[in-house]
Structure 1
Amino acid sequence: MALLQFLDHLIPYETFLNDLASRVVALLKNDNDDPEYLSQRKAYEVFGRRNVERWRRQGKIEPIKRPGKVEYRTCELRMLQRTVQDYLD
């Protein structure tokens, strides 16, 4: 029986994989209805204007500029939303 050791306890590998798989399925279901691109206004509304501006300033996202539109890839915004941020940058 394989075990994963964390700082505070041991977890059977199968339990870890089941928990991980459940988390991935939940995230996929949650993101399933997301459009491929969000307008800048909608990105500000969903993720917060300051977050989007900070990610752009830090070079973590690049907008796609089209005539009369500025858009962001939704999957990139979701990834940044789920990543622990260093707000001192």
Structure 2
Amino acid sequence: MNFLNFSDHLVPYDKFLKDLAATIVKMLKSDAQDPEFISQRKAYEMFGRGNVERWRKQGKVQPYKRPGKLEYRTADLRLLQRTVQDYF
């Protein structure tokens, strides 16, 4: 049996894969109803104005200019939301 060695314990490889697959399926289901693009106002509501503006300043997300509004790709914002960020 194969194991993955983490600093605090060993995890059987099969258990790791099953947990990973379950997490991916859960994320896909939760994101399935998301539109491809959302307005800047909606992005601020969903992810927080400070977060969206910081990600934009850092170049991690690019707004798409549409006539009369800015939009963001929802999948890009979801990815940044799930990424652990080090602010120090």
Give the TM-score normalised by the residue count of structure 1. 0.96
Query: What letter matches 1:2 in structure 2?
Result: N
1:6-28 CA distances to partner (integer Å, 9 max, x unpaired)? 00111110000000000000000
Stretches of 4+ moved more than 2 A in 1? none
Q: Determine the structure 2 residue equivalent to 1:79.
A: 79
Aligned mates of 1:4, 1:86 — CA distance in 2: 25
Query: Structure 1 residue 70: deviation in Å?
Result: 0.3
How many residues align? The count is 88
CA deviation digits over 1:28-66, x for unaligned, max 9?
000000000010000000000000000000000010001
**Aligned residue type for 1:80:** L
1:67 corresponds in structure 2 to: 67
Partners of 1:4 and 1:87 lie apart in 2 by 29
Give the match for residue 38 of structure 1: 38
- Residue in 1 that maps onto 2:51: 51
Distance 1:52 1:20 in 2: 28
Normalising by structure 2, what TM-score?
0.97
In 2, distance between residues paired with 1:43 and 1:62? Answer: 12
Cα RMSD for the two superposed structures: 0.7
| Aligned counterpart, 2:8 | 8
Q: Equivalent pairs: percent with the same residue?
A: 67
Superposition deviation, residue 86 in structure 1: 2.3
Q: Provide the rounded CA distance (Å) in 1 between the counterparts of 2:70 and 2:49.
A: 14
- Listed as ranges, the gaps of 5+ residues in structure 2 are none
